[in-house]
Amino acid sequence: MASIQIADFGQYAALQETIHKKVLFLEKLQRMKSIIKLAVFLFAMLPAVAFAQEKKPVWAELKNFHSFMSSTFHPAEENNLQPLKEKAVDMLAAAKQWQASEIPSSFKPKETKIQLEKLVKYCTGIVESVSAGANDATLKTMITEAHDVFHTIVGECRNVEEKH
């Protein structure tokens, strides 16, 4: 290891001051890097925070009915009416529960109530038709009509400011 020859105390003090300034500069640089990393992280998190605040409350009865609608309508589109025949009674019960539930503020109350009444009527007709042994073409038409009403509720019955 090489040693530095210092002629007098003045040179030693100047060298020590230079080293001290470099150490302070490196510490300051390290703090600046930490601040920049924090700023980048916070900036990157802004969209996540913004989207988290936009989360809409879930209407549990809507979600429950949708599970029956999707599991009966989509097979019916492929001419498989068996799921509808098996789940018609449960789908009607889910429609009635949905109709009896409180309408969230994100939906237009008057329009939603009218469409839910219509949906229950269609689901009642489906149950009656399944019980009477209606043919598949009739049932497919009926589930399609009920599906259209469902989409009216989740689409057109929402308040305008809630739509995306």
51 and 124 both lie in a single domain: no
The answer to whether the predicted template modeling score (pTM) of the entire model surpasses 0.75 is no
Both 84 and 27 in one domain: the answer is no
pLDDT digits (tens, 9 = 90+) for 36-46: 877 777 777 77
If asked whether residues 101 and 75 sit together in one domain, one would say yes
Domain endpoint, select from 55, 76, 98 = 55
Contacts of 145 (CB under 8 A, 6+ apart): 122
Q: Which amino acid is at 98?
A: W
In whole angstroms, give the CA distance from residue 52 to residue 136.
44
pLDDT digit string, tens, across residues 69-105: 999 999 999 999 999 999 999 999 999 999 999 999 9
Domain CATH code at residue 83? 1.20.120
